[in-house]
């Protein structure tokens, strides 16, 4: 998750952002509530999912560690690991290569082709690079681990719509929001091909959860009365144009899981709303949202050398991952057209 671009908003700009939202009458949308009664679930033991998630995070955020353009060997090691995991699941892997500062980097894509509406694509993505000087266990080995495990859970399921899984390179600063960003390269090529991406989900920093009061903060003081003070939930975040997708995803997640969840649809200039690969898809007119534990607003070791695998809550992350897998399967059904 990229952050440096918005440091100024963490001081005096925080309160003014919220006030401007109210004055302008923007449709900021908060969504919370209990899971729906018609809950769907996977029968696989959540403990097994947790074990596999921990394995992925310990390889990416421990054995490999810092992985970015300035550590090209480690970046390639991370890409090779993700590629092997997808291959082991039986997926042919498509690599989208491009050159940045003399280094060849790549996005990695696999898909489950839809049986009824194959031209309608739901894309689930996560970036596998880490911030400079950080091993990136939560940011974003956690998102990549969930990406692999959701692909595993859905690999043998017939789905009406096509579901595409993409591991992106070069999300972190100073590459964020530049032409060198992997997801922007991908989104542009998707638009050029005419891909009908009906929804993009960016898995971003999803492994840290706390039950104590005061463990959750927010980018604007005006959100505090409406959202929990405990950092025990998974958040669905999008811009105003993606609010319909956000509503459908949140409702679907609650059909599939009883894990606490919250939603926010707000203008993209609100701090944190555009802090991941979903931003790239907005640039090409695709609906896209971020799924996150809120990163810097909860996680004390964000973008630091202390973002290490033992900080991740694997049992909680397993519940989130299983719920997201059910949500993606639900979203890929013909009846869930939104």
Q: Is the pLDDT of residue 150 over 70?
A: yes
- Classify the phi-psi angles of 104: left when phi > 0, otherwise alpha if psi is within -120 to 50, otherwise beta: beta
Q: What is the mean pLDDT of the chain?
A: 89
Q: Is the pLDDT of residue 52 over 90?
A: yes
CB hemisphere CA count around 128 (13 angstroms): 32
CA–CA dist 225, 30 (Å, integer): 11
Q: What is the pLDDT of residue 220?
A: 87
Contact present, 284 and 190 (Cβ < 8 Å): yes
Confidence of residue 222 (pLDDT cuts 50, 70, 90): confident
Q: Is the pLDDT of residue 294 over 80?
A: yes
The enclosing H or E element of 36 equals: none
Q: What is the pLDDT of residue 323?
A: 98
Q: Is the pLDDT of residue 299 over 60?
A: yes
Tens of pLDDT, residues 64-87:
999 999 999 999 999 999 999 999
Burial of 33 (0-12, 13-18, 19+ CB in 10 A): exposed
Q: Is the pLDDT of residue 214 over 90?
A: yes
Helix (H, G, I), strand (E, B) or coil at 112: strand
CA–CA dist 160, 80 (Å, integer): 30
Nearest to 226 by CA among 252, 262, 192: 262
Confidence of residue 31 (pLDDT cuts 50, 70, 90): low
CA–CA dist 152, 164 (Å, integer): 12
Confidence of residue 335 (pLDDT cuts 50, 70, 90): low
CA–CA dist 229, 19 (Å, integer): 21
Q: Is the pLDDT of residue 12 over 60?
A: no
Tens of pLDDT, residues 159-196:
999 999 999 999 999 999 999 999 999 999 999 999 99
pLDDT over 70 for what percent of the chain?
86
Q: Is the pLDDT of residue 324 over 50?
A: yes
């Amino acid at each position: 998750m990229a952050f440096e671009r918005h440091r100024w908003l963490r001081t005096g700009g925080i309160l003014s952002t919220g006030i401007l939202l109210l004055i302008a009458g923007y449709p900021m949308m908060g969504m919370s509530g209990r899971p729906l009664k018609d809950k769907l679930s996977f029968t696989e033991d959540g403990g097994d999912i947790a074990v596999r998630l921990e394995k992925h995070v310990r390889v990416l955020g421990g054995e490999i560690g810092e992985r970015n353009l300035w550590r090209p060997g480690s970046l390639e090691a991370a890409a090779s690991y993700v590629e092997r995991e997808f291959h082991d699941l039986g997926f042919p892997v498509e690599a989208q290569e491009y050159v940045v500062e003399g280094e060849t980097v790549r996005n990695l894509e696999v898909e489950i082709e839809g049986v009824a509406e194959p031209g309608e694509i739901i894309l689930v993505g996560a970036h596998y690079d880490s911030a400079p000087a950080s091993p990136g266990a939560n940011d974003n080995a956690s998102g990549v681990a969930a990406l692999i495990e959701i692909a595993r859970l859905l690999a043998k399921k017939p789905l009406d719509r096509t579901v595409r899984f993409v591991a992106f390179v070069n999300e972190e600063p100073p590459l964020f929001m530049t032409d060198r960003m992997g997801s922007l390269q991908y989104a542009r090529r998707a638009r050029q091909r005419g891909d009908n991406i009906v929804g993009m989900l960016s898995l971003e920093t999803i492994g840290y959860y706390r039950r104590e009061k005061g463990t959750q903060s927010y980018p604007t003081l005006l959100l505090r009365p409406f959202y929990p003070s405990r950092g025990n939930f998974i958040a669905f975040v999008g811009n105003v144009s993606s609010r319909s997708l956000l509503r459908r995803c949140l409702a679907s997640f609650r059909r599939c899981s009883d894990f606490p969840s919250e939603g926010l649809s707000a203008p993209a200039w609100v701090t944190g709303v555009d802090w991941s690969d979903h931003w790239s898809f907005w640039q090409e007119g695709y609906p896209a949202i971020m799924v996150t534990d809120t990163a810097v607003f909860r996680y004390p070791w964000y973008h630091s050398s202390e973002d290490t695998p033992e900080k991740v809550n694997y049992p909680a992350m397993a519940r989130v991952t299983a719920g997201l897998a059910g949500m993606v399967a639900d979203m890929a059904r013909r009846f869930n057209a939104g």
